[in-house]
Structure 1
Amino acid sequence: MPTDLVRSAGSRSALSDPILYLLLFSVLAAPAALGAVDAWVWSTQALLAGIALATWAAHVALGHPPTVALRRLAVPASLFTAALAWASLQASGWSPAAWHHPLWPMAAETLGTTGIGAVSLAPTDTSDAILRLCGYAAVFYLAVNLCRDRRRARLVLAAVAVMVTLYAAYGIAAHLSGAERILWMAKTSYHGDLTATFVNRNTFGAFAGLGFLCLVGLLCDGLGRTARGVSATIERRRLMAEFMAGRGALLLGAMFVVGTAILLTHSRAVLACTLAGSIVLLLALGLSGALSLRRTLAAVAAGAALLGVAFLAGDGTGTGDRLLQVGDHAETRMEIYRRTADAIADSPWLGTGLGTFAHGFRLYRSQAVAAPFTEAHDTYLETVMELGLPAGLALILAVASLPALCVLGLIRRRRGLAFPAVGLAASTLVGLHAIVDYSIQNPAVAALYALIMGAACAQCWSSRVDTGR
C-alpha cells in the first residue's frame, strides 16, 4: 500500500474525530463567557485542550503514528520551547540573586526575611501566562495533526465560520436592542459599540475578523472545487453559478452578518486589519494560480461592494466618525510606547517576567498616562519587556514562522491552497493589529488563531508527503 494511503488511513482512526470535536468545543465555546478573559474560563479551555492532547498522545503510544512529526515543526517548536523555558526560569526563583527583579530585595528587607526573589516581578502571573501559552500550543499541535485530512481542515474552517457568525448575529441583535448588556450583565464600558459576548470591542472585532477570513477562504475553496477539472467555459460558469446560488449564497450572507458586526464595533484598526487580511488572502490565491487574476480582481470588487452595503445598513456612521479621529488617544499611546521602551532598556536581557506588564508598567507610568494601563497596546513591545530581548524575539519568531510555512505551502502545493492562504491572511490580521492593540493576548482570540493556523499549516504539505516521518 502506498505510504500516503497508509498515513491517510491512520489519520482517519476512530479516536481522531472525537478528539477534534473536543478541541473545537474548547476553542469555540469559551468566547461565550466574556471572551474567555476570566481565569476559570481560559484555564478550563487549557484543561480541555490538555485532555485532548493527552488522549492523542495515548493514541500515538498505542501504535498510531502522528500525522505530522515534530521535526516538521522544528523551527517554531524550538523557538517556542526556548521562550517557555526562560519564562519558567523567570518564575522559578532558581536563578542567581543578581538576576532577580530589583523590587525583591526591597521586599525582603521590609519583611525582614531572606531567600525570596525571582526574575519575574510576579511569579504567579508568569505561571498563568505559561499555562495559557501551553494551551494555545496544544490547540495548534492537535489541529496540525488532525487536519492533514483535508475534510477535517475544511470542517475546522466551517465550524469557525458558523460559530463566529452566530456570535456576530447575537452581537447585532444585542446592539440594536439598545439594552447595553453582555448576556444578562450590564456593560461597564464601550457603550454604543458592539462587543457581542466580549467585554472589549477590539478583541471581538479581531475574533470576528478571523471568522470573516475563514468565510472568504471557504467561498474561494468552494468555487475552486466546483470548477476543477472542467475545461468548457460555459459548463464551468454554470457550475459556479449553481454554487453561488446555493452554498455560496449562504457564505455571502454570513459574510454580510460578520462584516456588519465588525463595522458596529466602530474599531478602525480591526476594520483596516480585516481588509488587509482579505486582500492578502485573495492575492495569495491569485498569485499561486488558485484563482485567475480576473477572478481575484472581481472578488476584491465584490468584497468592497459587500462591505459598502454592510456599512450603509449597519449604522456605519460611528465607524466613519472614528475613522476621521486619527489623533484620538494617539499621544497617550505614544507615551505608553516610550515608557515601555524605557522598561526594556532597564532590563533588556532578563525582562520583568512573562505576564507582568501591569505590575512593571506602574514603575514607569508618567502623569501623561492617567489610566492604569494593564497592556502596552503593542504586543511586540510588551512581549520583549516581559521576556527580555532574546526570549521575547524567540517567541515572536516562533509565531512568525507559521505564516512563513503557509507561504511555502502556497508555493509548493497545487490543491487545497485556500487553507494556507487563510493562514497567511489570519496572520496578517493579528500581526498588524498587535502593533496597535492587544487582541492576540485575549484567550479567545489566541486560541482561535492557534486553531486556524493548525488547520492551515497542516495543509502546507502535499498529500503525497509522509509528514509523520
Structure 2
Amino acid sequence: MEGTPQWRFAVWSAVALAVLLCFSILTDAVRERWAVSVFQAGVFGLAIVWAVWTMFRPYRVRGSTVMIPLGGAVVWGLLQLITDQTVYRFDTWNAVLGWATNFVIFFLSLQVLAFIEIRQAFRKSLLSFGCALSVVSVIQFFTSNGKVFWLFPAQYAEQALGPFVNRDHYASFVALLLPLALYKILAERKRAVGYAAVAGAMFASVIAGASRAGSILVTLEIAVLLFPLIIGHTISLRTLLASLARIAFFAVVFTAVVGWEVLWERFQDPDPLRFRREVFYSSLCMIRDRPWTGCGLGAWPTAYPAYALLDIGAFANHAHCDWVEWTAEGGFPLLAMLLWIFIWGFRSAIRFVWGAGVVAVFLHSMVDFPLQKPALAALMFVLLAALAASANDQRAGEGPAHQKPIQAGPSRCPKRVPRKAFVLPVCIRLLGVILPSAVVRIRPD
C-alpha cells in the first residue's frame, strides 16, 4: 500500500490533521471566537477534500460503533432546536456545531490512522509535541509573570501553563498523552531511558501546575505499566521494576526542580469542593426539572442562574463536572451516549494501554470540565479514533503489528488471560480514588 496515491493522500491528511490539532491547542487561551472558528473550518474543509477525493478515487471507508453515540449527540441537539427544547437557541447551535466537529474529526482520524505506519508515526508526533509543550509550559510558568508564551496576558495569571489558562485543563492535556510515553518505555527497551525522561518531565509539569485531580490521575497512569503483566504479556518482573525505577527517578528529579509545595498546600484545603458543591446541586435541580430533554446543548450557563443557590461573585460558565453538565443540557439520552463512548474507550484502553489517557480525562471530567474545551475534546476523539483503528486491525486479523509486543528478553509472544480478571480490580482501584472526591454533600444552612 505504501507509495500508492491512497497512501500519499493519507499521509498528507495526517499532516493536515496534526496541524489543525496543534493550532487548536496552541490557541486555547484565545477568548475570542475566531480561534475555534478557524479550527472548525479547517476540520470541515479537510472533510470536503476527502469527499471530493473519494468521488474520483474510491477509498475504503472504515467505521466504528463510537460513531453512533457521537452522531447521536449531533442529532439530539438538532431535535432540541426543532422541538424548541432549549432555553437559548444560539448556544445550542454552537454546541451542535461543536459536536459535529467532534464527529467529523473522529471520522477523518479513523480513515487516516487506519494505516499502521501512519498511526504509529502520528502517536509519536503527538508525544513529541506534548513533551516539548510541557517543557515550554513549565519555563513559562516560572518566568512569564502570567503571560501566555511571554506575550499575552492570561485570564488567570497564576495558573497559566503554556496555552492553557486553567491548571486542570493543562493536566488533562498531559493525562491524554502521558500513556503514549509509558507504553514506549516497555515497547522500546533500547530507548526506555529517553522515554522515561519524557514521562518524568510531563509528570513533573502537572505537579508544578498544582492540579489536585490531575496529579492523582497522572500518578495512577503509572499503573499502565502493570497492565501487560496483569493481562498476561510475557514480561519479566525485572523489566517491569526497571521501568518503574526509571520513571520514578526522573519524576522525582524533575519534581524536585519545579517544586511541589503549591500542590501540597492545595491538598491541605479543608473544603476543596467550595462553590463547586452548590453548583453541582443546582445542576441536579436542573436535571430534575428536565430529565429527558435537558435545557439545550450549550445552554447550561443561561439556565443556571434560575437554579443558583448562592451568588459566587463570578460568572458560572460551567458546572465543573462534565457529566452533570451534559445531563443538564441533554437529559438522560445524552448521558447514555457519553457513557457508551466512555465504556467503549475503557474496554479499548485495556487492550491498547497507550489509550489510557482517554479514560483518565473522562474520570477527570467528574470534578472539572476539560471536555468543554474544543481543543481537548478534539485531541481525545483523535485518540479514540486511533484506538478504533487498532481495534479494527485486531478484528481483521492483521497480526500484532497494530501494537508492538512488549519485549522481555528473547520471548515476545503475548499471552492473554480472561479480561474479567483484570477489569474488576482496576475498576475498584479507580473508584476508590475518584468517588471520595466526587461525592457531594449539601450542608444545612
Q: If the length of structure 1 is used for normalisation, what is the TM-score?
A: 0.78
| SS of residue matched to 1:199 | coil
RMSD: 2.4
Query: Which one of the candidate residues 396, 403, 413 is aligned to 1:465?
Result: 396
Give the counterpart letter for 1:32 in structure 2: L
| SS of residue matched to 2:72 | helix
Give me the whole-angstrom Cα distance separating, in 1, the residues matched to 2:74 and 2:25. 25
- How far apart are residue 181 of structure 1 and its match? 1.0
Counterpart of 2:423?
Answer: none
Task: List runs of 5+ in structure 1 lacking aligned partners.
Answer: 1-5, 96-117, 224-242, 411-419
* Contact 1:16/1:146, CA 8 A, preserved across alignment: yes
Give the counterpart letter for 2:175 in structure 1: G
Give me the whole-angstrom Cα distance separating, in 1, the residues matched to 2:70 and 2:155. 36
1:87 and 2:77 correspond = yes
Give me the whole-angstrom Cα distance separating, in 1, the residues matched to 2:164 and 2:345. 27
Q: How does 1:333-344 map to 2 (within 5 A)?
A: 333-344=276-287
| SS of residue matched to 2:120 | helix
- How far apart are residue 290 of structure 1 and its match? 4.2
1:140 and 2:83 correspond = no
Query: Which one of the candidate residues 35, 46, 55 is aligned to 2:40?
Result: 46
* Contact 1:36/1:442, CA 8 A, preserved across alignment: no
Counterpart of 1:308?
Answer: 252
Counterpart of 2:381?
Answer: 450
Give the counterpart letter for 2:305 in structure 1: R
* Contact 2:210/2:262, CA 8 A, preserved across alignment: yes
Give the counterpart letter for 1:395 in structure 2: L
CA distance 1:326–1:306, change in 2 (3 Å): farther
Give me the whole-angstrom Cα distance separating, in 1, the residues matched to 2:389 and 2:5. 12
| SS of residue matched to 1:430 | helix
Query: Which one of the candidate residues 269, 272, 294 is aligned to 1:325?
Result: 269
Counterpart of 1:364?
Answer: 307
Q: How does 1:382-461 map to 2 (within 5 A)?
A: 382-407=325-350, 410=351, 420-423=352-355, 425-461=356-392
Q: How does 1:246-265 map to 2 (within 5 A)?
A: 248-265=192-209
1:162 and 2:140 correspond = no
Counterpart of 1:187?
Answer: 154
* Contact 1:210/1:449, CA 8 A, preserved across alignment: yes
CA distance 1:19–1:179, change in 2 (3 Å): same
CA distance 1:152–1:89, change in 2 (3 Å): same
- How far apart are residue 346 of structure 1 and its match? 0.6
Give me the whole-angstrom Cα distance separating, in 2, the residues matched to 1:168 and 1:39. 25
* Contact 1:144/1:455, CA 8 A, preserved across alignment: yes
* Contact 2:126/2:177, CA 8 A, preserved across alignment: yes
Q: State the Cα deviation string for residues 275-317 of structure 1 (Å, max 9, x = none).
A: 22331x3233333444625133443343333322222111111
Counterpart of 1:415?
Answer: none
Counterpart of 1:171?
Answer: 137
Q: State the Cα deviation string for residues 334-369 of structure 1 (Å, max 9, x = none).
A: 211111101100111110000111111111112264
Task: List runs of 5+ in structure 2 lacking aligned partners.
Answer: 399-445
Q: Percent identity?
A: 17
| SS of residue matched to 1:436 | coil
* Contact 1:83/1:392, CA 8 A, preserved across alignment: no
Give me the whole-angstrom Cα distance separating, in 2, the residues matched to 1:314 and 1:202. 17
Deviates more, 1:26-35 or 1:395-404: 395-404
Counterpart of 1:21?
Answer: 15
| SS of residue matched to 2:307 | coil
Query: Which one of the candidate residues 113, 127, 149 is aligned to 2:93?
Result: 127
1:350 and 2:293 correspond = yes
- How far apart are residue 267 of structure 1 and its match? 0.5
| SS of residue matched to 1:366 | coil
* Contact 2:80/2:296, CA 8 A, preserved across alignment: yes
Give me the whole-angstrom Cα distance separating, in 1, the residues matched to 2:133 and 2:389. 27
Deviates more, 1:306-315 or 1:398-407: 398-407
* Contact 1:143/1:454, CA 8 A, preserved across alignment: yes
- How far apart are residue 62 of structure 1 and its match? 2.8
Give me the whole-angstrom Cα distance separating, in 2, the residues matched to 1:291 and 1:126. 50
- How far apart are residue 326 of structure 1 and its match? 5.2
Counterpart of 1:236?
Answer: none
CA distance 1:271–1:80, change in 2 (3 Å): same
Give me the whole-angstrom Cα distance separating, in 2, the residues matched to 1:154 and 1:395. 27
Give the counterpart letter for 1:89 in structure 2: L
CA distance 1:297–1:323, change in 2 (3 Å): farther
Give me the whole-angstrom Cα distance separating, in 2, the residues matched to 1:211 and 1:452. 9
Give the counterpart letter for 2:360 in structure 1: L
- How far apart are residue 167 of structure 1 and its match? 1.7
- How far apart are residue 10 of structure 1 and its match? 7.1
- How far apart are residue 323 of structure 1 and its match? 2.2
- How far apart are residue 144 of structure 1 and its match? 1.8
Counterpart of 1:56?
Answer: 50
Give me the whole-angstrom Cα distance separating, in 1, the residues matched to 2:153 and 2:31. 17
* Contact 2:342/2:362, CA 8 A, preserved across alignment: no
Give the counterpart letter for 2:358 in structure 1: S
Give me the whole-angstrom Cα distance separating, in 1, the residues matched to 2:42 and 2:255. 38
Give me the whole-angstrom Cα distance separating, in 1, the residues matched to 2:26 and 2:113. 25
CA distance 1:36–1:257, change in 2 (3 Å): farther
* Contact 2:196/2:246, CA 8 A, preserved across alignment: no
1:268 and 2:235 correspond = no
Query: Which one of the candidate residues 317, 321, 345 is aligned to 1:374?
Result: 317
Give me the whole-angstrom Cα distance separating, in 2, the residues matched to 1:461 and 1:26. 25
Q: State the Cα deviation string for residues 1-45 of structure 1 (Å, max 9, x = none).
A: xxxxx7x88795221111110001001122212346542212221
* Contact 2:298/2:329, CA 8 A, preserved across alignment: yes
CA distance 1:331–1:130, change in 2 (3 Å): same
